A and B are shown apart, each in its own frame.
Chain A
Amino acid sequence: MILPGLILVLIYSYGPMFGLLIAFEKYVPAKGMMGSKWVGLDNFRYVIEMPESAQIIWNTVLIAIMKIIAGLIAPIITALLLNEVRKEVFKRGVQTVVYLPHFLSWIILGGILIDILSPTNGIVNQLLGWFGIKPIFFLGSNTWFRYVLVITDVWKEFGFNTIVYLAALTSISPTLYEAAIVDGAGRWKQTLHVTLPGMASIIVLLVTLSLGNVLNAGFDQVFNLYSPQVYETGDVIDTFVYRIGLVDAQYGVATAVGVFRSVVSLFSISLSYYLAYRFANYRIF
């Protein structure tokens, strides 16, 4: 039963892992993987000596961490506020609408964002204009680009991520609230002493799991929003690999960067799963 899936995974997931060998070659497509010249660690050395390298790693980590933090806080707050709502219709309505952006692709959202953030006729700059603020070229400015990435990423995903927290909230036993009320706790005290501790384990779990994403700043989003003007602050490892690999055809070098990213990711993801298992008793299956 498991065989067809296994074969496909062996070909398309394990197959490429052998392809990682070209990171150690001066790969020429015409000569193939076996025929190309073996250069050992030269590609890695080349990457380390490239002037952009440090900047790109910094961008990747910084953007990813900003996203992780903002992406954790927003859904927790939303879930807490939604939990206070007693009108089912209103609650459902808000939920339906805030989940929606998660299901649209970064192509669609990128197209929308490029339009509304445009400095000439974008609606955001028109709004700012009413307050006497000069148009800002959000997607072309090195000061703004990272914030745009973080805010739009939170905008896309926070609604969807509230699902997990809402589920955690509904599993808190009502008797705890009754006990708190008997002890004279108001709504705020109840949130502080019952709700938050009740959510603590799931928060710890998601924080630990998100640590695995430090080298993942989101290829789809960055690729569809950036432009050469903001390479300085917005270029991340994945977009860089795409450019030097498929656009400039430096296959060996691009694969070397990929190997670096994969190894660090493997390490950080394994560590985060281990921590999640250790402290939140989480297992993948």
Chain B
Amino acid sequence: MLEHYTVSRRVFLSFNYVFLACLGIICILPIIHVLAVSFSSSAAAQAGYVKLWPVQFTLSSYDYVMHKPAFFKSILVTLKRVAIGIPTNMLLTVLIAYPLSKEAKKFPMRTFYAWTFVVTILFSGGLIPLYMTVKTTHILDTVWAMVLPGAVPVFNVILLLNFFRGLPKELEEAAFIDGAGHWTTLWRIFLPLSLPALATITLFATVNHWNSWFDGLIFMNSPDHYPLQSYLQTVVINRDLTLMSSADMKSLTEVNDRTAKAAQIFLGALPILLVYPFLQRFFMKGIVLGSVKE
């Protein structure tokens, strides 16, 4: 750096660094605070001694949460949902985005189909009719109720089809001359070239399935089938005490509501906190390529 800074420039720059650092801190401080609470003893948490570092460090709230069958069950439901939901989302996204990325000349009904999908983001039947549809298709109270209604993520389709269109046409033409059909071209040419976009929409689909709670809450009749976030909603936000057994109540006196909640909040966020830093570099590229067009 050979640039010579004026005094005002230096003042601005130091201000800028401090400000941005503060901004970053504000974004994670609440999470660190809750983490500290979860590792603190119930007495310290209740008295409000805990700031950003655990006071009287203990794992008892994690021990309590881990031995809660309902918490465990809900994690299994979420894992099942993610395992079925993401491949479904990805497969459908690719299968729709590929034909729609073609010119209208090659795929005459393109505009019609494209609008059929886009209309669903503009207009929807709303909550109650959706519930009735899910009910009439007999998937209520099964994992499919959380997979099928959102199986086509139209927004991701748009991201991917824009990415496909940005790929050089010559590659496709060359593949066709070499005798490849549409499936081969999609599988051997388009998909390998679209890894940043695919990584981005996989991240979106994963976060979406991991974070969804409302569908679990309304489509699952039995709390045993709640995915993790729906379960957390009832326990952490709604304080639904009917879901607690008397044994829970007893251990609550030792663990304390606040630290137990903090532990569950943190465990609910943990997978995303772990996966996210690794996928970050992909999604920067993926989103930008999909959203900013010249």
Q: Interface of A with B (CB < 8 Å)?
A: 1-2, 4-6, 8-9, 11-20, 22, 33, 78, 81-82, 84-86, 90, 93-101, 103-105, 107-108, 110-116, 121, 123, 126, 155, 159, 163-164, 167-168, 171, 187, 202, 219-220, 223-224, 241-242, 245-246, 251, 254-255, 258-259, 261-262, 265-266, 269-270, 284-285
Contact = CB atoms under 8 A, between A and B. Distances in A.
The residue among B37, B207, B236 with the most chain A CB atoms within 10 A of its own CB is B236
B182 A1 contact: yes
The residue among B28, B96, B129, B237 with the most chain A CB atoms within 10 A of its own CB is B129
Contacts of B126: 16, 20, 241, 255, 258-259, 261-262
Contact of B132 (A14, A16, A86, A168): A16
Nearest to B159: A285
B33 A78 contact: no
Interface in B1-27: 1, 9, 12-13, 16-17, 19-21, 23-27
A16 to B, nearest CB: 3
Nearest to A74: B23
B128 A155 contact: no
B261 interface: yes
B179 interface: no
Contacts of B100: 2, 285
**Majority secondary structure of chain A interface residues (helix, strand, loop or mixed):** helix
Given A104-B272, A123-B51, A259-B126, A12 B237 contact: no
Contacts of B130: 12, 16, 19
A219 B217 CA distance: 14
A220 B218 contact: no
Contact of B133 (A4, A12, A107, A284): A12
Contacts of B31: 100, 112
Given A13-B124, A103-B207, A220-B214, 7 more contacts: A1-B182, A13-B120, A16-B132, A84-B13, A101-B27, A163-B287, A255-B129
A167 B286 CA distance: 12
A231 to B, nearest CB: 16
Interface in B232-260: 232-233, 236-237, 258
B9 A187 contact: yes
30 contacts: A2-B100, A2-B113, A5-B95, A8-B92, A9-B116, A9-B152, A15-B133, A19-B128, A19-B129, A20-B125, A20-B129, A81-B20, A85-B20, A101-B27, A104-B272, A111-B261, A115-B265, A116-B33, A116-B34, A155-B26, A167-B291, A220-B214, A242-B127, A245-B128, A246-B218, A258-B128, A259-B126, A262-B126, A266-B123, A284-B118
B223 interface: no
Contacts of A101: 27
Interface in B24-59: 24-28, 30-31, 33-34, 37, 45-48, 51
B72 to A, nearest CB: 18
Contacts of B222: none
A254 B127 contact: yes
The residue among A14, A112, A284 with the most chain B CB atoms within 10 A of its own CB is A112
Given A112-B34, A167-B292, A261-B126, A5 B152 contact: yes
B277 interface: yes
B187 to A, nearest CB: 12
Interface in B89-136: 92, 95-96, 98-100, 113-114, 116-118, 120, 122-134
B262 interface: yes
B284 interface: yes
B24 A94 contact: yes
A94 B24 CA distance: 5
